[in-house]
Chains A and B, each alone.
Chain A
């Protein structure tokens, strides 16, 4: 009787293990697939070893996409994490606390709107002839800055990145608001008595006290930046040419429109390695898990 009792907890865990398998089997299957050359039409897979990776590391479009992802990451860290913290600090400031719920909603609203709707909205916004952006630029006399934002190879990726910032800053700001509310008000009071100004309080109290949240936000935005798909896919489809291609849109095109499944699997593996590395490095750097004040 006792022996059987010992088994019970494992039986409870069994569904969890089955679930883990469902998550991890596809990942390993994908790595395995990347060693083959195959398409949905071909009846058999041809083993090619690391050929797909050799091609990949010689593929200029891959580097273009990787560069765009890195741009995405850098800009997202600056605007979403940095900007989000500033927005949160301002909203939690005593002076505007009264209106804070209103602004919180305003900032958070884009987060709940579907990306498809947002992308459609921004295609109008960026339209070179009737779009709001160029109209405004022309109204204030900055005609020379008006551009076909999504149609110009030099600006397309930045135009796409900007949409993501617009959408996600509210989310990160919301995370920071929660973190700031957890900071004990005594710290600020003490600082005030010592004669610290708002900037000093921000850098010496708010920033270090929300370190743990910064870690979460950085992970979120970084992995988000390397797996971003909707925005470039809907806004530009990776174009013009391949100028706004990111890894996941390139993966999608390779797999489903060019039907090179093995090659696409190798791109997926690279994305996996990149995101895995990022999380590992950050876990080391931030020594997460311990909330040390």
Chain B
């Protein structure tokens, strides 16, 4: 008897250990007969965290048979984690995804559910979405995601300083350089920039590429199967960025974007290139804020007017057992009511039509929304538009270029090398 106990005990301890490692993650129905959905997003911080909590609560109230389990990790770790999680057998049912290449990688790996039929079936809902924001989630005419927010990158300027010096918002590159040099002569920090995190560089580079290079060349190069990055425009675009260096604050590489934003909103810098979603983060400023789109570049061959910026949204796992319920949740998330709540509480712009109005937005925010809606074309965030390996070579190189350690030509040489190895691999 004693012996059997012993054997049982040791076996039990082993099975406990091994069982603990197996990790039981349920996306299946729980005991109560409720449908459980797992929901994974990238905002463990306020104000988004509470917003999503409240949306989930509201949804569960209206659908008592559905239970939603939320998980969230921050930005950069999200990028890493979601790749691993969608590779497992129990991926989250509904997960956050940036648009364009980031979304396409899920589609290529068969991790995302085709939502086209839902879009068609429930046109009362889908027609209310800002149509331009659906395209970045579309691959081969099939829609794989639901955009929740929309955003654009613009130059913001301190109107008080501009008025004092008699400056006007520039409409082309030379005017921009003029404005910057006047500001510099008057001892202002002309253009605040924090490039410690490389994504901030990607916004400049991406927009400059749009301005400098023919759209068909761009779309060929941004495709990982055909990208060569040999067009001379790429070097020129980086040279344009170099032209701005004298007008940036010093040591851009040791300053992060948040610090740079504070410098601008405290009135210490005259201009700042930022996302429209950041207007709320500027807080109440002592000066009036003006904004303009990245100006056209005189010798550029690309699109002179498009606005850089992408929607952010959600996708549904191809392995989900409850596609209908998951879609119901996403439609609820992008209802007009929830969109208005998003604008009011988070200060981001909902991808649902007519959700920003004077009751929940400042005049600056409304101006920003107008800019996004009126943009004839949107260009995706550069680091989301190209393969991560090419983006890495591109942006670490550009960061060194800002320090003066590399020339634009050297940077592009590394990019071409990275593109070549990505190309070779995608052909395998």
Contacts and interface: CB of A to CB of B under 8 A. Distances in A.
> Is chain B found bound to chain A in the same assembly?
yes
Nearest to A19: B17
For chain B, which range describes its interface: under 10, 10 to 19, 20 to 34, or 35 or more residues? 35 or more
B75 to A, nearest CB: 12
Contact of A151 (B7, B21, B76, B251): B251
A106 interface: no
A12 B10 contact: yes
Interface stretch (A75-83, A174-182, A257-265, A266-274): A257-265
B405 interface: yes
A117 interface: no
A253 interface: yes
A41 B10 contact: no
Contact of B109 (A4, A8, A41, A150): A41
Interface string B195-225: 0111000000000000000000000000000
A241 B406 contact: yes
Residues of B contacting A: mostly:
helix
Interface stretch (B64-72, B301-309, B371-379, B388-396): B388-396
A185 interface: no
A18 B254 CA distance: 48
A40 B86 contact: yes
Nearest to B254: A151
Nearest to A12: B10
B79 A256 contact: yes
Nearest to B392: A258
B57 interface: no
Contacts of A149: 254
Contacts of A110: none
Contacts of B197: 237
B252 interface: yes
Given A4-B3, A128-B255, A148-B254, A153 B392 contact: no
Nearest to A150: B254
Interface in B1-17: 3, 6-7, 10, 13-14, 17
Residues of A contacting B: mostly:
loop
B152 interface: no
B49 interface: no
Nearest to A40: B87
Contact of B399 (A127, A148, A240, A259): A240
B168 interface: no
B324 interface: no
B83 interface: yes
A239 interface: yes
Interface in A210-266: 236-243, 252-253, 256-260
A22 interface: yes
A148 B251 contact: yes
B254 A127 contact: yes
A4 B2 CA distance: 11
Nearest to B18: A18
25 contacts: A15-B10, A18-B17, A41-B87, A41-B105, A126-B254, A127-B259, A128-B250, A128-B255, A129-B250, A148-B253, A151-B254, A153-B403, A239-B196, A239-B198, A239-B396, A240-B403, A241-B396, A241-B397, A241-B399, A242-B396, A256-B83, A257-B392, A259-B83, A259-B388, A260-B389
Interface of A: 4, 8, 11-12, 14-15, 18-19, 22, 37, 40-43, 46, 123, 126-129, 148-153, 236-243, 252-253, 256-260
Given A11-B7, A11-B10, A40-B84, 9 more contacts: A15-B14, A40-B87, A128-B254, A129-B249, A129-B250, A149-B254, A240-B403, A241-B397, A259-B83
